Amino acid sequence: MIIKDMCVFALGDNKENAVKVQQGEILEFHTRDCFNNQIDSEDYVMDVLDWDHINPATGPVYVEGAEKGDVLKVEILDIKLDDMGTMCCLPENGVLGADITENQIKKVPVKDDKAIFNQFELPLNPMIGVIGVAPENESVPCGTPGRHGGNMDNTKIAKGATLYLPVFHDGAYFGCGDVHACMGDGEIMVSGIEIGAVVSVRLTVLKGVSIDNPRLEDAENIYTIASSEDIEKAIYTATKDMCGILQKNLGYTLNEAGMLMSAAGNLQFCQVVDPERTVRMAIPKTICDKVL
Ligand code: CA
Ligand code: ZN
């Protein structure tokens, strides 16, 4: 099924118009870039950007059979990019915000599996910035990450990966958007190479398991993901969640699981520039291949 021409700017909005979808069917989400496709050239004047309508997530979809307390399994089957990306920098935004004196927009062509940034041909890492379900309580703007997913800007949410999200409402109300042609961990200037895309996913509902925060797996690793205004809290939560996975699946004590993470786990930044910061803890699948 193709999902297009419908989007929300806060996850949890517009539940009443959600499209009903079946588990197991392949869904193609046509996504706009994080600027809602408003920036059409490098001469665009940022002052006219409609900031109330940014970070659109295509959706929501109501997943038949999903009930509060379940886990929504999201297999990312493919990400097809448009051919032109956009970056920007803005005073007061990002790690160097205090040093930026003027706005700049950069258009970045994408072709032959490369992003053309000045003289550099950057390898692509197509990834989904905003992906999630309706949050537990009120709607959350798509620019903010949280336990429901949202703007996690995680470079590992890419083709071939499987994301696991807590379900807070019957139907889950899943949506996604904000694809990047590539992005570095941290997303320090607040934009990756922002681009429209077609994202293909398969959704499955898992019963009898529940999680507090998003989890992820790819070919090499399992990951816990956590977001907080205070990055130290996000680090604690991602580490504690992974500790729980290792204790449960390896039969380890907290001490043993902690030492194993300290020896072989990798704590990594997703983004450090959104209203809440997002980190992940990675453990190689050679150590534990179960993420639940
Ligand atoms: Ca983003
Ligand atoms: Zn983005």
**Mean of all residue pLDDT scores within the chain:** 97
If phi > 0 it is left, if psi is from -120 to 50 it is alpha, else beta; for residue 29 that is beta
Give per-residue burial for 242-257: e unless 16+ CB within 10 Å, then b: bbebbeebeebeeeeb
Listed in sequence order, the DSSP H helices in 184-272 are 231-250, 254-264
CA of 225 to the centre of ligand 1 (A): 15
Q: Please state the pTM of the whole predicted model.
A: 0.97
Using CA atoms of 91, 83, 21, 222 in order, give the dihedral in degrees to the nearest 10. -70
CA of 258 to the centre of ligand 1 (A): 31
Q: Hey, is 130 helix, strand or coil?
A: strand
Residue 50: partners with Cβ closer than 8 Å, 6 or more residues away: 36, 38
Please state, in angstroms and rounded to a whole number, the distance separating the CA atoms of residues 40 and 108: 12
The 10s digit of each residue's pLDDT in 133-144 is 999 999 999 999
**In this structure, what token pair is assigned to residue 271?**
């983004």
**In this structure, what token pair is assigned to residue 25?**
């069917």
CA of 191 to the centre of ligand 2 (A): 5
- Residue 125 has a pLDDT of 98
Q: Do the beta carbons of residue 225 and residue 152 sit within 8 Å?
A: yes
What's the Cα-to-Cα distance from 225 to each of 105, 115, 153, 200, 240, rounded to whole Å?
30, 27, 11, 22, 11
Q: What is the number of the ligand closest to the CA of 31?
A: 2
- Residue 47 has a pLDDT of 86
Positions of E strands within 52-196: 57-63, 71-81, 84-89, 104-111, 114-117, 120-123, 127-132, 140-141, 145-146, 149-151, 162-166, 174-180, 194-195
The 10s digit of each residue's pLDDT in 5-39 is 999 999 999 999 999 999 999 999 999 999 999 99
Torsion sign, CA atoms 105, 276, 31, 57: negative
End-to-end, the C-alpha distance of the chain in Å comes to 28
List, as ranges, residues with CB under 5 A of the ion ligand 1.
129, 151, 153, 178
Q: What parts of the chain have a pLDDT lower than 70?
A: none
Torsion sign, CA atoms 122, 54, 163, 212: positive
CA of 54 to the centre of ligand 2 (A): 10
